[in-house]
Amino acid sequence: MIGYIERHTRIQGEGILPRDVLVWLPPGYGSPPGQRYPVLYMQDGQNIFEEGNSLSGLSWRTDETAGRLMLEGRIRKAIIVALYNTEDRQEEYGDTEKGRAYMRFVVEKVKTVIDGAYRTVSGRHGTFVMGSSIGALISFLLVWNHPEVFSAAACLSPAFVYGGNNVIPLVQEYRGPRKEIRLYFDNGTVGLDRELQEGCDEMIEALQEKGFVLGRDVEWYLDEGAEHSEAAWSRRLWRPLRFLLGKT
């Protein structure tokens, strides 16, 4: 384990099930005393750090990858908040009533707790979100619906069009000014990730029609031979971390 993890147990949000929230503090947190840290909020918190908590038996080993990149000076030191999912994951991570309740929970409850307890950069330019699969879907919805809170999202193997999900029209039908957000997308080429490719392509096309520029506002990476799994996301985690937290 690199860094240090604190657990907040059974945080309750209105209209959704309570859940644990893990807070990873980077190496050297609090030194110097006046330093403040950007915050990355990640979905499916059981899978983010320790394999003993992971639902699949594998984790992203985010503490190791993020900690190494921070110690090497390749990304900014940041706090990482991992929100557990629940048995209502499918509904909470979609454009549904429970999904909207979950977004309010993240924005109004969890962020308030984190900003009150830790040395955060609380503004939008220091606040990011990440997830995979439908966790990527809700991460996109968070940054799209709350650009005043989040400035960027990383969506790994995003399920933009899959099953009952299709959030492409949300972008296509948007008529306001271009949102000041940055987006990272990636996907593999095997199994479910291959099926999700079309939705990723459609999302990028819809964003470009709204003024987003691939290579500037939007980054996309194709991971040849990668499947839809914690192991694959762990291997390429450095890419979205560099996108979100890379030093300029």
pLDDT 10s digits, 53-79 = 656 667 899 999 999 999 999 999 999
pLDDT 10s digits, 105-122 = 999 999 999 999 999 999
Return the CATH number at 59: 3.40.50.1820
Residues of the domain holding 51: 4-245
Alpha-carbon dihedral 89, 18, 142, 130, rounded to 10 degrees? -70
pLDDT at 10 over 80: yes
Share of the chain above pLDDT 90, in %: 90
pLDDT of res. 55 = 61
- Higher pLDDT, residue 123 or 51: 123
Rounded Cα distance between 83 and 179, Å, is 25
- pTM for this prediction: 0.97
Could you tell me if 138 and 93 are in contact, meaning their C-beta atoms sit under 8 angstroms apart? yes
Rounded Cα distance between 200 and 160, Å, is 7
pLDDT of res. 53 = 66
pLDDT of res. 52 = 64
Rounded Cα distance between 56 and 141, Å, is 25
3-state SS, the chain, equals: CCCEEEEEEEECCCCCCCEEEEEEECCCCCCCCCCCECEEEECCHHHCCCCCCCCCCCCCCHHHHHHHHHHCCCECCCEEEEECCCCCHHHHCCCCHHHHHHHHHHHHHHHHHHHHHCCECCCHHHEEEEEECHHHHHHHHHHHHCCCCCCEEEEECCCCEECCEECHHHHHCCCCCCCCCEEEEEEECCCHHHHHHHHHHHHHHHHHHCCCCECCCEEEEEECCCCCCHHHHHHCCHHHHHHHHECC
pLDDT at 36 over 90: yes
Q: Which residue has the tokens 């996108």?
A: 243
| Residue length of the chain | 248
* Exposure on the CB side of residue 84, measured as CA atoms within 13 A: 21
Q: How far is CA 86 from CA 81, 127, 233, in A?
A: 16, 23, 20
Read off the pLDDT band of 248 (50, 70, 90). low
Q: How high is the mean pLDDT of the chain?
A: 95
pLDDT at 4 over 80: yes
Rounded Cα distance between 127 and 120, Å, is 9
Taking residues 225-245, what's their average pLDDT?
97
pLDDT at 235 over 80: yes
Q: Are strands 79-83 and 19-25 parallel, antiparallel or unpaired?
A: antiparallel
pLDDT of res. 247 = 81
pLDDT of res. 172 = 98
Number of domains in the chain: 1
Rounded Cα distance between 112 and 34, Å, is 20
Could you tell me if 188 and 221 are in contact, meaning their C-beta atoms sit under 8 angstroms apart? no
pLDDT of res. 194 = 97
Please report, as a single letter, which amino acid is at residue 23.
Answer: V
Please report, as a single letter, which amino acid is at residue 221.
Answer: Y
Could you tell me if 73 and 33 are in contact, meaning their C-beta atoms sit under 8 angstroms apart? no
pLDDT 10s digits, 150-209 = 999 999 999 999 988 899 999 999 999 999 999 999 999 999 999 999 999 999 999 999
